[in-house]
Chain A
Amino acid sequence: MNGARILVVDDEPQIQRFLRPALGAAGYEVAEAMTGGEALKTAATSVPDVIILDLGLPDMDGKDVVANIRAWSNVPIIILSARDRESEKVAALDLGADDYIEKPFGIGELTARIRTALRHRIQVEGGQTSLAADGLTIDIVKRLVSRDGKALRLTPKEYDLLVMLARHAGRVVTHKMLLTSVWGIAHGEDLHYLRVFIGQLRSKIERDPADPRIIRTEPGVGYRFIGDED
């Protein structure tokens, strides 16, 4: 999917300085914004395919930028953040950002996230009936889950959880998003539900539940489904 347009929003000129040539070399078209206001304007006018957004901006809170964009666009947003700003990062994800990457990061990692985001964009447009990961197949139409051809018996909640994760394959899904979509709004903070059910799910779908390959933990943020394409 080369030629996709990427908007990089960061107020550090040094970051822009290496992202521009690197993303250019990877085949993307790069637009830049140093402030939140500029980011919103560019996002509206140049219609990027992916936005890379640093949360710390001089003029406004990065979370507000996410909320603002989400009000009118589904464009994938990847958050650039620091490890010590976990709560901000989770808040931005809950507000509708698609993924995050921690500074400092390697360019390979970033391009992988961009690819996932772009693929998801297409999936949303097309819709998908089956998913595969590490020998696991999920047939969404028939509600069937099998591993190496053998059907697995999942409880309805386990199935919902798995599908919720698999639909966002490659991207992080926050605890809150999982809890509210599977258990309902009222259970947004009941983290222990998740711990229990993820444990059960892993013991059923993973080859080695002690070294999970399909559902990966993003500490303090949520979980990530690693499909075969990721």
Chain B
Amino acid sequence: MPENDRDLPRRPDPDALLALAEQGGRGKLTVFLGAAPGVGKTYAMLTRVRRLKEEGVDIVIGLVETHGRAETTTLLEGLEVLPRREVMHSGRTLQEFDLDAALTRRPRIIVVDELAHTNLGEGRHPKRYQDIEELVDAGIDVWTALNIQHLESLSDVVAQIAGVPVRERIPDTVLNRADDVLLVDLPPAELIERLKEGKVYVPDSAKRAVDRFFRLGNLTALRELALRRTADRVDDQMVDYLKQNAIEGPWPAGERLLVCIGPDRLSEKVVRTASRIASGLNADWIVVSLERADQESGDREAMRQLDQTFHLAEQLGAETRRVVGNDFVEEILKLARREHATQIVIGTRRHRFPLRLFRRSLPDALAARASGIGIHLITDKDKAEARPKRERKWMSRKAAWRALAIAAGTAGAATILGLVIEQFIILQNISLLYLLAVLASAIYAGYAAALAAALFSVLAYNFFFIEPIGTFTVAEPHEVFALFVFLAAAVLAGGLASRVREQAKAAGSRATATQALYDFSRKLSATANAEDVLWAAVTQMQTTLRRNAVLLLPEGGDITLKTAWPPDTELDVTDTMAARWAFEKKEPAGNDTGTLPNSPFQFRPLVTPHGVVGVCGFVQQDKPLEINEERALAAILDQTAIAVDRARLSRESLDQAAQLEGDKFRAALLSSMSHDLRTPLATITGAVTSLLQFGDRMPADSRHDLLKSIEEESERLTRFVANLLDMTRIEAGTVNAKRDWVDVADVVRSAAERARKYFPDRVFETSISADLPFIRGDSVLLGQVLFNLLDNANRFGGDEPVSIYARREGDELVLAVTDLGKGIPPGDLQRVFDKFFRKGKPDGRSLGTGLGLAIAKGFIEAMGGQIKAESPAVRRRGTRISMRLPAAEHQLPEKE
């Protein structure tokens, strides 16, 4: 980055501007930093609060501990103090800061004392600094106080200086992100004076530690740390300012540290030291772990140690990486080049004397091959700590007995075999048989068994085969030598064989995991609907992690439980809040995280490139996942997120297709309706204007024809409008069919009559059976239905007559209109009753309005009847529309 600055000296650094822009919308965090308790941080803070309050600023006390001191209490008078939240903690009622009350109150500035405090009880966050981060994220300015000793990166130094371990620690990033740091300073001598006068609050439990802590030397050292830290920050701010304002440096050249760690306790120290170096240099730093390719699922304890160190590094503001490889030196240098690292920080252990001769340590090898990169070696103070934290993982008693039994068994078998063979031939190298025994033990029971077998073999070999036979003594000096050579060979071979066994085991379990994941992803890709995807995911989590799992998806603005294993799992308020947190903040929440750790579940967001698509929760119950489980989980979550996203996309695309179809339909409808309205209007307008302009020049019959056409077109328009209105009524559900007694014969006759008048060229035949029952219905609606059907029949009926029949069939009256036209294609038989379905040209211009049958259906159904279309109707021609209406005769006694 600074190289760029040198190239383009006058351009503001875009990264700097971006960081500035990201602060918009967030509140400002002001930290009152002190070297030790009692320097007057709270006092300084409250004095400022009072001053702002007098200026009319909306400033509120969220939480301030007065510790019963009068001068502090006086300062609080007249200030708005938020009530605290009562929490139960191990049987006692305690008062804690009420985060939600603060968020609801939303002052411009809020004062929350003691940044490093650990929340008790069932709060949302275990640490106060997390509460404060949430306030800042919500756009509220926060003032808080902090003693330098609580800073994570300094905790080991502080512990060393003061001789007291620091329990409450906060990540350095919290302080680094603070917008302002105000140093509250008091010379140590004065502080000790204040302590003696009883002006410094010390909890009872710490009374004894106090004397050790408040020593001039300690306080001076702490003061130096605080001063230096503040100075560094001021320096950073100046550099930021210079970059934002394009003022040419002399800012320090951008250093980048590459910090190498391994699964040992020294690494923690390496990380802390690197953090201090990095902040001193104002440098970015990357922490990278080195793992052997074959070590992947190795020592659990080591993995946990490594995870802890990584966590620490992240808290201190480092980027973290894992590197797997066999040539560490090569991997480190490759990464250093890629990341433009200028310095490497690495821990070193002094090997004990003989080993030091044979093995070149990693730092030495690195120094030999690195060029142009500084290397910091971090050594350990005392040997005890320097030992890698390899608490030998002792085998279970059962496994140990088994190993011993196998070792004894194979050695015994080798002995017997040797003795048997010796009966027949003179074997020079009986020892080879024992080597076989050692190898077999290594392969079947591991390294420990191999060692045991080697020992047994040496003893047995000596006892049974080396002169004097039957004793453990050795007569010939060269036999002693041979025995040692055998022992060395057996140990080495055993080691190799057991390593092969370990690798095979690791590869096996990896293959199983890969296979499971492969099966899962195949299962997912085969399912397109979201429900199946979710179900597959929870069952997979159950089988892989052996933990119960839940999946939540956003729905209607909130996140809701969709699938769970077991299916009747329910989430309580805390769980739901944690899930929502994970969804909104895109970070893990719940058990074993910084947010709502009291939930039994841990929730992870399902992240895709399009954002978070859901949340997955699994029962954590304070049993953290192991590293390989963590990997499996990550893979499952990735797959699930993609599948959920895909399901969502496919649903959206279906919706879109439907929408598109709807749009197309509406466009066609609009165009056909406008055509239906316009043609009669055009005719009427044209005819009227023609008559007006040329009427006197026209022959009488032409004039008459024009007038006639005006009449016809007006009627057409009226029918169309009436149809539209009927349809609107049906759509709106306001068709109130009357329940009168209707004589269908009358209705048929009058409809036929009307049709004959309108369509004089058409023959309409009626056939009405004599025993026709009455129906309960609306004669006007029925008449209109019939006329619509006759109109259709006229339009599509070719030249043949149209027939109407009405007869009874059981308890029903059947009414049908049949034409002998071309008929309806079978595929359209269902659709003819759809609104605006019509036979015509694709642009929607057609012979009819497309409403006739839809209206008929609406009216008939309103009268409790059914309507259907048949085609062909007669001799492969024509269409029959038949209606069935319930007969009402037996309620008419007079008909008898």
Query: A interface vs B, CB < 8 Å?
Result: 12, 14-15, 17-19, 21-22, 24-26, 56, 58, 82, 84, 103-108, 110-111
Residues of B within 8 A of A82 (CB): 674-675, 678
Q: How far is the CA of A104 from the CA of B706 in the complex (A)?
A: 16
Given A15-B679, A56-B845, A82-B678, also A21-B670 (CB < 8 A): no
Q: Are B697 and A104 in contact (CB under 8 A)?
A: no
Residues of B within 8 A of A104 (CB): 678, 681-686
Residues of A within 8 A of B699 (CB): 21
Among the listed A14, A25, A111, which residue makes an inter-chain contact with B683, where contact means beta carbons less than 8 Å apart?
Answer: A14
Q: Are B698 and A25 in contact (CB under 8 A)?
A: yes
Binds A, one of B148-156, B424-432, B688-696, B887-895: B688-696
Q: Are A25 and B686 in contact (CB under 8 A)?
A: no
B contact residues, range: 20 to 34
B633 → chain A, closest Cβ, in Å? 56
Q: Are A21 and B690 in contact (CB under 8 A)?
A: yes
Residues of B within 8 A of A110 (CB): 686
Q: Check B180 for interface membership: any CB of A closer than 8 A.
A: no
Residues of B within 8 A of A108 (CB): 689, 693
Q: Check B515 for interface membership: any CB of A closer than 8 A.
A: no
Q: Are B693 and A14 in contact (CB under 8 A)?
A: no
Q: List 25 A-B contacts (CB under 8 A).
A: A14-B709, A15-B686, A17-B683, A17-B687, A17-B706, A18-B686, A18-B687, A18-B709, A21-B694, A21-B705, A25-B690, A25-B697, A25-B698, A25-B702, A26-B693, A56-B675, A84-B670, A103-B678, A103-B679, A104-B678, A104-B684, A105-B686, A107-B690, A108-B689, A108-B693
Q: Are B843 and A56 in contact (CB under 8 A)?
A: yes
Residues of A within 8 A of B687 (CB): 17-18, 22
Q: How far is the CA of A228 from the CA of B684 in the complex (A)?
A: 31
Q: Check B713 for interface membership: any CB of A closer than 8 A.
A: yes
Q: How far is the CA of A24 from the CA of B699 in the complex (A)?
A: 10
Which partner residue on chain A sits nearest B697 by CB separation?
A: A25
Residues of A within 8 A of B683 (CB): 12, 14-15, 17-18, 104
Q: Are B694 and A26 in contact (CB under 8 A)?
A: yes
Q: Are A22 and B694 in contact (CB under 8 A)?
A: yes
Q: How far is the CA of A84 from the CA of B672 in the complex (A)?
A: 11
Q: Check B597 for interface membership: any CB of A closer than 8 A.
A: no
Query: B interface vs A, CB < 8 Å?
Result: 670-671, 674-675, 678-687, 689-690, 693-695, 697-699, 702-703, 705-706, 709, 712-713, 841, 843, 845
Q: How far is the CA of A14 from the CA of B680 in the complex (A)?
A: 8
Q: How far is the CA of A197 from the CA of B680 in the complex (A)?
A: 41
Main secondary structure of the interface of B (DSSP, over half): helix
Q: Are B689 and A103 in contact (CB under 8 A)?
A: no
Residues of B within 8 A of A103 (CB): 678-679, 681-682
B642 → chain A, closest Cβ, in Å? 43
For chains A and B in complex, what number of residue pairs have CB atoms within 8 angstroms? 89
Q: How far is the CA of A103 from the CA of B682 in the complex (A)?
A: 6
B712 → chain A, closest Cβ, in Å? 8
Q: Are B685 and A106 in contact (CB under 8 A)?
A: yes
B858 → chain A, closest Cβ, in Å? 28
Residues of B within 8 A of A18 (CB): 683, 686-687, 690, 706, 709
Q: How far is the CA of A106 from the CA of B687 in the complex (A)?
A: 8
Residues of B within 8 A of A15 (CB): 679, 682-683, 686
Q: How far is the CA of A60 from the CA of B683 in the complex (A)?
A: 23
Q: How far is the CA of A105 from the CA of B693 in the complex (A)?
A: 13
Among the listed B689, B697, B709, which residue makes an inter-chain contact with A17, where contact means beta carbons less than 8 Å apart?
Answer: B709
Extra contacts besides A17-B687, A21-B702 (8): CB < 8 Å: A12-B683, A14-B682, A14-B709, A21-B705, A56-B675, A104-B684, A105-B686, A107-B694
Residues of B within 8 A of A25 (CB): 690, 693-695, 697-698, 702
Q: How far is the CA of A106 from the CA of B690 in the complex (A)?
A: 8
Q: How far is the CA of A34 from the CA of B681 in the complex (A)?
A: 19
A15 → chain B, closest Cβ, in Å? 6
Residues of B within 8 A of A58 (CB): 841
A126 → chain B, closest Cβ, in Å? 29
Among the listed B670, B671, B679, B843, which residue makes an inter-chain contact with A12, where contact means beta carbons less than 8 Å apart?
Answer: B679
Q: Are B679 and A107 in contact (CB under 8 A)?
A: no
Residue from B681, B693, B712 having most chain A Cβ neighbours under 10 A: B693
Residues of A within 8 A of B697 (CB): 25
Which partner residue on chain B sits nearest A11 by CB separation?
A: B845
Q: Are B706 and A21 in contact (CB under 8 A)?
A: yes
Residues of A within 8 A of B686 (CB): 15, 18-19, 22, 104-107, 110
Residues of A within 8 A of B684 (CB): 104
